[in-house]
Amino acid sequence: MSNTLLQQEVDKRRTFAIISHPDAGKTTITEKVLLFGRAIQTAGTVKGRGSNQHAKSDWMDMEKERGISVTTSVMQFPYNDCLVNLLDTPGHEDFSEDTYRTLTAVDSCLMVIDAAKGVEDRTRKLMEVTRLRDTPIITFMNKLDRDIRDPMELLDEVESELNIACAPVSWPIGCGKGFQGVYHIHRDESILYQSGQGHTIQDARIIKGLNNPELDEAIGADIAQDLRDELELVMGASHAFDHELFLSGELTPVFFGTALGNFGVDHMLDGLTEWAPKPMARPTHDREVKADEEKFSGFVFKIQANMDPRHRDRIAFMRIVSGKYQQGMKLRHVRLGKQINISDAVTFMAGDRSRAEDAFAGDIIGLHNHGTIQIGDTFTQGEDLKFAGIPNFAPELFRRIRLKDPLRQKQLLKGLIQLSEEGAVQVFRPLQSNDLIVGAVGVLQFDMVVARLKAEYNVDALYEPINVATARWVECDDEKKLDEFQRKNQANLALDGGDNLTYIAPTMVNLNLTQERFPDIDLRATREH
């Protein structure tokens, strides 16, 4: 493949994920995005959840076809002149470390905020993760068909709580029952909303120019005048869009709309395809790898096990960093130092569902994994590279795990360590006891671990509560100081699945005190694979 052809393919890729608090509208907006990407034909045959079911069932078929749970993990579709990859970030109960790690595999994020509620907990957490790489953020203020909070106040809240400047690209005209549409600041157009059209791509009425008398006639002279006055204030008080600041993660363009009413989602997609970065270069331990390099490289950011015990197969999700994947190619599994044949990778083209034969930098492919692939593994066409920055995140939930049959301790430990290598869960072994502590980011991970221990290792285990608030990886270059720290904190120290030293804190207060007493010890909330 010539360099320019490769370049063209790479340049049109946009790979992003959605960050939001549960119920802000991620599923609904995903469905509308797929509608615009022509990956589904109609959305929302029934109102509300029914519409979500529709998107789901479309993907369930695919799951059946492939005999593995890839449901909505990655959705690829064309929009404008781009090929967009939307990576699913598990939310609700299925929230897990995978959610965090997926954010390290994208080039930009869409932040969806319920405009009646503003910035919520989960969004705060996920934004913290995007800050590790200064990922560019696009914001969608959702649910304008409901009574929302003052839009200016919402922008202020995002700025102060998430520490990112806001540049409104569209501005709402009313909300709730009085929602009339948005004024698109960049296009100088008012785009009018019609309710009850959420299942289709709308032919919205567009009025060019803020001072156009047609606007007065369409939405009422008073409302039109209020809008003009408000916009004058907004323009004075908010930031103008700046592409450089967006790319460095310091400023977010903000769109308003309703995902349920399918209004404003296309404005956001236009912004995303125009401004969001194409596949970016990535650092390795030796050099930076550019997306348009001819040789293939990629890293694994997530491993998904099939919960169906009849299929022991797992899929390793790999983000392609450079070059092109072709079916049947040989790749070097760098950690094992082995060449492997990739004959049947899964690709994720939405819509026609045919298995694409090739994939490019920016795309995600799924490798069948029989236990030899771990999170963070790098694959190349020969070079010994290791991509940096695919972290473990400190778990937020902890339980002691215990065997029903004490004779299977060895199998339990083996299972837990393998599951932790796979990134499904984290395991900690306190230095001073024989306890085994399981740590997770989401509650569902606990059930999944017990189910897999039973199915794959024939181990019956159960949990007991344990008084642990958080864990931190211990790092220090000064051996003497590290020794002293270890001596004084034996009771709180443990080894993780990879034998790394961790500090197990019963409370956050304890953690803070310990950090104050030992300022030279690095107690880290993330650890690189």
Residue with the CB atom nearest ligand G4P in the bound state:
48
Binding-site residues for GTP, in ranges, read 20-27, 88-92, 142-145
Site residues, ligand G4P (CB under 6 A): 20, 22-28, 48-49, 52, 91, 142-143, 145-146, 258-261
In the complex with ligand G4P, the residue whose CB is nearer, 108 or 142, is 142
If the CB atoms of residues 39 and 476 are measured against ligand G4P, the closer one turns out to be 39
Query: What is the residue-wise DSSP string for 262-291?
Result: TBSHHHHHHHHHHHSPPSPPEEBSS-EE-T
Question: Which lies closer to ligand G4P via its Cβ, residue 94 or residue 460?
Answer: 94
**C-alpha to C-alpha distance for 113 and 164, rounded to whole angstroms:** 14
Q: d(Cα 386, Cα 376) in Å, to the nearest integer?
A: 8
45: buried, middle or exposed (CB in 10 Å: 19+, 13-18, 0-12)? exposed
C-alpha atoms less than 13 angstroms from C-alpha of 357 in its C-beta half-sphere: 1
Separation of alpha carbons 527 and 498, rounded Å: 11
Closest approach of ligand G4P to the CB of residue 160, in Å: 23
Beta strand 137-142 pairing with 108-114: parallel
Closest contact distance (angstroms) between CB of 259 and ligand G4P is 4
* 135 vs 258, beta carbon nearer ligand G4P: 258
Smallest distance from ligand G4P to CB 20, Å: 5
Q: Which residues, 6+ apart, have CB-to-CB distance to 357 below 8 Å?
A: 326, 327, 347
CB of 99 to ligand G4P, least distance (A): 12
Length of the chain: 529
As annotated, the binding site includes 20-27, 88-92, 142-145
Query: Which is closer to ligand G4P, CB of 95 or CB of 428?
Result: 95
How far is the C-alpha of 49 from the C-alpha of 27, rounded, in Å? 9
Smallest separation, CB 142 to ligand G4P (Å): 5
What CA dihedral angle connects 90, 94, 97 and 100, to 10 degrees?
20
To ligand G4P, the closest distance from the beta carbon of 21 in angstroms equals 7
Q: Residue 232 CB, nearest distance to ligand G4P (Å)?
A: 28
* Distance in angstroms (rounded) separating the CA atoms of residues 476 and 57: 50
Do the Cβ atoms of 365 and 325 come closer than 8 Å?
Answer: yes
Nearest-angstrom CA–CA distance, 268 and 274: 10
- DSSP 8-state symbol, 376: T
Q: For ligand G4P, which is the closer residue by CB, 177 or 480?
A: 177
Instruction: Please give the Cα distance from 364 to 490 (Å, whole number).
Output: 43
Nearer to ligand G4P, 170 or 380 (CB): 170
Please say which residue, 259 or 424, places its beta carbon nearer to ligand G4P: 259
Q: How far apart are the first and last CA of the chain?
A: 33
Rounded to the nearest whole angstrom, what is the least distance from the CB of residue 257 to ligand G4P in the complex?
Answer: 7
